[in-house]
Structures are given as C-alpha cells and as structure tokens.
Amino acid sequence: MNVEYRDVLVSAKDVSLSLGGVPVLREVNLEVRDLVRPGRVTGQVVGLLGPSGIGKTQLFRLLAGLSTPDRGQVTLTKAARPVRAGDVGVVAQDFPLFEHRTVLGNLVVAGRQAGLSTAEAKARALALLARLSLGHRANAWPKALSGGQRQRVAIAQQVLCSEHVLLMDEPFSGLDPNAVDEVCALITELASQDELNTIIVVTHDLAAAAAVCDHLWLLGTVDGQPGATVVATWDLVERGVAFAPDVRSTPQYRDLVAEVRARFMRG
C-alpha cells in the first residue's frame, strides 16, 4: 500500500515511572507519525496492548497528562511542550460524564471549555449527536443511557474539547461482537475526519485492536527486569492488514493476531 509517514504527532521518550518505589514503567519510547495515504484523509489509530497489571493504565495517565513521569517526557509535537491534562481527549473505561448535566449539557460544557460560544457549542453538540445517532437522547440524563450510548456520548464530549489526539481506555471491554464492530467503525470514522486525528487505544483485546489499528505496541517486561516497556511493535500497513475491507476474514489478519497473541503470552 502506498503510504507516507510525515511529522511526529505524539512521542514518549525514555519515560519511566515508579510508584511507591516500585518501577512500573521503564524507558518507554513511542512515536506516532502522521500517516498519509494519497487522495484520502487518514488519521492514525494505534493500539497499546499488554496483559492486566503490566502498567497500561499508568502509561495511559502519562499520555493523557494526568500524571508526570519520573524521567523522560510525553510530547505533542503541535504543543511543543510536555503534555498537560486537557491537551488530549481521554475516554476512560467507565465512560465518565457529569451526571448532573443532560447529554446535551455535557457536550455544551465541553464545547465551552474548548473556547466556543454557548450557541456554537450547542450547534456542534447537536450535529455530533446526530452523527452518532443520539439526537433523540440530547435531553436525557446520563444515568438513563445504555452502555453503548454512554460510550458514544463520552467520546463526543472529548471530541468537542480536544483537538486531534484521543486516548481510549479499554473501549471494547465487556462488549458483544456486534458492539465491538460498531466501536471499531466509530474509531475509524473519527480517525478519518482529519489527517492529524490520532486515536490511541489501550486494550488487551488483541483481535479488535488488530482490526482497527494501523500500528500496535506491546507492553511487557524484558528478561525479568522490573518495570514494563515496549517489547514489540507491529506495522499493520506493512502487513497489509490496516485499511483492508472485511479485514477479519483475511489470512494476513489471522496470521497477525496469532503472532501478536504468541508474543503477548510470552510477556
């Protein structure tokens, strides 16, 4: 496939973190580059994989600017400084929303935080809800939403407030296969809205990640050393898996999932 990699959009350089004196992350290095496909708007979707308890959530917090590493730094090239909370959109695993605001109220407050006027924020919020097939739930309270609806509202809220980078923590967790496909389609749609859109998916669902991402990173430990680091990466464009229609039925996809699973099991 004819693709070109341009500027670095997100980078983590030599990121290390200890909690209570215990090393959790050790010299993590990551880079997301602007992936360009001629004639198409193509954002980036990267999967961060790793077994439970390896330190994915801590890395997620560092990438979101919610924590500061002990050493190294996470940088958004556009901001040209270490990432801070609010620089990137974050959709946490339980899809948090303000329970005291309606769906529309949740989105309007996010739009206002992004500097829009109330009228602009409301117009953009309603347009986004319509695109996510949630226009009829604009005046609902969050507690009345189904899990899938809540996830989409949480994504919409972050999309309204953030610029191009969106972090998603375990977006496939607890979903049935149809719902997983719907979330994959939503991620692809969000990514393809702007060339610079970058979605980083933290998950342990290898199959879903392989179906939606263009790159995969695997967190693990090396030779029993304390602290997790990136132990393997896969370029899914190179493997002919990324952007392939009906990807799950292709042999390349099945081979890739088997390979990632084998590496995952080795830790």
Partner 1 sequence: MSAASLRAAFTPNRVVSRSTVAVLVGAQAALLALLWVKSPLEAVPGPLAVVGALRELWFEQGLGPALAVSLSTSLEALVLATVLSLGLAYASVVPAFRPLAGVVSRGRFLGLSGLTFVFMLSLGGGQPLRLALLVFGLTVFLTTSLVAEVAAIPRARFDHARTLRMREWRVVWEVVVLGTADRALEVVRQNAAIGWTLLTTVEGLTRAEGGVGTLLLDQNKHLHLAEVFALQAVILAVGLGQDAALGWLRRAVCPWVGDSKGRGSS
Per DSSP, the three-state class of 253 is: helix
Interaction between residue 142 and partner 1 (CB under 8 A): yes
| Stretch touching partner 1 by CB under 8 A, among 9-17, 40-48, 74-82, 95-103 | 95-103
Task: Look at residues 164, 163, 167, 139 and name the one whose alpha carbon lies nearest to residue 154.
Answer: 167
Q: Between residues 97 and 206, which has the closer beta carbon with respect to partner 1?
A: 97
* Cα–Cα distance, 18 to 174 (Å, whole number): 30
Comparing CB distances to partner 1, the nearer of 128 and 256 is 128
Segment contacting partner 1 by CB under 8 A, of 37-45, 142-150, 205-213, 251-259:
142-150
Q: Which residues contact 217 (CB under 8 A, 6 or more apart)?
A: 30, 46, 47, 48, 49, 230, 232, 233
- Given 44, 157, 198, 203, the residue binding partner 1 (CB under 8 A): 157
Give the one residue of 7, 14, 94, 194 binding partner 1; rule: CB under 8 A. Answer: 94
Residue type at 52 in one-letter notation: S
133 CA to centre of own chain: 21
Q: Residue 9 CB, nearest distance to partner 1 (Å)?
A: 18
Regarding 105 and contact with partner 1 (CB under 8 A), the answer is yes
Q: Which of 51, 82, 96, 267 binds partner 1 (CB under 8 A)?
A: 96
CB of 86 to partner 1, least distance (A): 3
Binding-site member from 52, 143, 174, 245 for partner 1 (CB under 8 A): 143
Give the sign of the dihedral formed by CA 149, CA 83, CA 59, CA 7.
positive
Tell which positions 72-91 bind partner 1, by CB under 8 A: 85-86, 88-90
Query: Order of strands, edge to edge, in the sheet holding 215-220?
Result: 89-91, 165-169, 198-203, 44-49, 215-220, 229-235
Q: Among the candidate windows 18-26, 61-69, 181-189, 229-237, which touches partner 1 by CB under 8 A?
A: 61-69
Cα gap 207→204, rounded to integer Å: 9
Strand partners, 89: 166
| Per rule CB under 8 A, count of chain residues that contact partner 1 | 37
Piece of the chain touching partner 1 by CB under 8 A; list 29-37, 158-166, 207-215, 228-236? 158-166
Q: What residues are paired with 252 via a beta bridge?
A: none
CA 156 – CA 188 distance, rounded (Å): 14
Dist CA 250 CA 266 (whole Å): 25
Q: Is 114 in the site for partner 1 (CB under 8 A)?
A: yes
Residues binding partner 1 (CB under 8 A): 61, 64, 66, 85-86, 88-90, 92, 94, 96-102, 104-105, 108-110, 113-114, 122, 138-145, 157-158, 161-162
